[in-house]
């Protein structure tokens, strides 16, 4: 069964460092998303991406964040200068066009900022 | 903007007992409603969804949820739980196809043998 894969599964970084989280969505999906979940809190939307551009972003997704689909298969989330409060589980998801709400999630990348 | 409330952060239930996980939503427009499940150390998986039509929707593993527009609720139920149902359950809404999902805070379901 096709699945969304994310790397790394866990990354530890120092405050102020750049981090890139990688995702390989399901191949025929057209909509891509990043969500995050701070420990003990709700799953929060960060950004959605369609047709090679951001379609929506939340207020969390400030100038420190960026997304890219560099080669037609990978979908990356970059955090330019990490803060302590960026520590969270980051989930990538993808979905087919026109299929409401049926997102396929990866297993997540746990980011720990020290 | 829409929001989702899951009042129960943790629900312990004896094996083979029934369970109900509560979800209420708030929105000024019509929404689609979803339940996602997160098993330990895994990503979220769609459990069931309500888009339109029959207000009672079912999953393949015995869960069901009923959309109640007047009470703005979408509670999840199962008549008899198993150990394998141990997971975190998230209620979510969206306004239209492919729009972002807005999640509740989740309910951790613990099955007691």
Residue pLDDT, tens place only, B54-112: 889 999 889 999 999 999 999 999 999 999 999 999 999 988 777 889 999 999 999 99
Within 8 A of B102 by CB-CB distance, chain A residues are 45
Which phi-psi region, left, alpha or beta, contains residue A40 (left: φ > 0; alpha: ψ -120 to 50)? left
What's the CA gap between A112 and A102, in Å, rounded? 29
The answer on pLDDT for A99 being more than 80 is no
Structural tokens at position B49? 């969804």
* Residue A36 CA from chain centroid, whole number: 7
Q: What's the pLDDT score for residue A1? A: 73
Under an 8 A CB cutoff, do B105 and A31 touch? Answer: no
- Which pLDDT score is estimated for B41? 80
- The pLDDT-based confidence of A96 (bands split at 50, 70, 90) is confident
Residues A18-62: tens digit of each pLDDT: 999 999 999 889 899 999 999 888 899 999 999 889 999 999 999
CB of B44 within 8 A of CB of A42?
no
Gap between the Cα atoms of A8 and A11, Å rounded: 6
Question: How confident is residue A72, by pLDDT bands cut at 50, 70 and 90?
Answer: confident
Give whole-number Cα distances, A27 to A56, B87, B100, in Å: 21, 28, 20
CATH number at residue B24: 2.60.40.10
Amino acid A71: pLDDT: 85
The beta-carbon neighbor of B42 closest among A33, A93, A107 is A107
User: What is the mean predicted confidence (pLDDT) over B25-33?
Assistant: 89
According to the model, what pLDDT value does residue A45 have?
Answer: 95
The reported pLDDT for the residue numbered B106 is 94
Interface test with A, best of B100, B102, B103, B108 (most A CBs within 10 A): B100
**Quick check: A2 pLDDT over 80?**
no
Return the CA Rg of chain A.
13
| Full domain range(s) for residue B11 | 3-112
Total domains in chain B come to: 1
CATH numbers and ranges of domains, chain A: 5-113 (2.60.40.10)
Flag whether residue B70 sits within 8 Å of chain A, measured between CB atoms.
Answer: no
What is the reported pLDDT for B43? 85
């Amino acid at each position: 069964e096709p699945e969304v894969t994310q790397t790394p599964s866990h990354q530890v970084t120092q405050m102020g460092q750049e981090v890139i989280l990688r995702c390989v969505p399901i191949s025929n999906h057209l909509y891509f998303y990043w969500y995050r979940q701070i420990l003990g809190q709700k799953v929060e939307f960060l950004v959605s991406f369609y047709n090679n551009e951001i379609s929506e972003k939340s207020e969390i997704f400030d100038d420190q964040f960026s997304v890219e689909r560099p080669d037609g298969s990978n979908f990356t989330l970059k955090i330019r200068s990490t803060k302590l409060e960026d520590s969270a589980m980051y989930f990538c998801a993808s979905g087919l066009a026109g299929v409401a709400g049926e997102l396929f999630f990866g297993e997540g990348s746990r980011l720990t900022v020290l | 903007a829409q929001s989702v409330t899951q009042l129960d952060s943790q629900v312990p239930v004896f094996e083979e007992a029934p369970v109900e996980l509560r979800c209420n939503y708030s929105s000024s427009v019509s929404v689609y409603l979803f339940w996602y499940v997160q098993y330990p150390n895994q990503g979220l998986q769609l459990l069931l969804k309500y888009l339109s039509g029959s207000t009672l929707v079912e999953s393949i593993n015995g869960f069901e949820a009923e959309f109640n527009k007047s009470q703005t609720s979408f509670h999840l139920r199962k008549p008899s739980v198993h150990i394998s149902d141990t997971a975190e359950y998230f209620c979510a809404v969206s306004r239209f196809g492919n729009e972002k999902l807005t999640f509740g805070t989740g309910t951790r379901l613990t099955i007691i043998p």
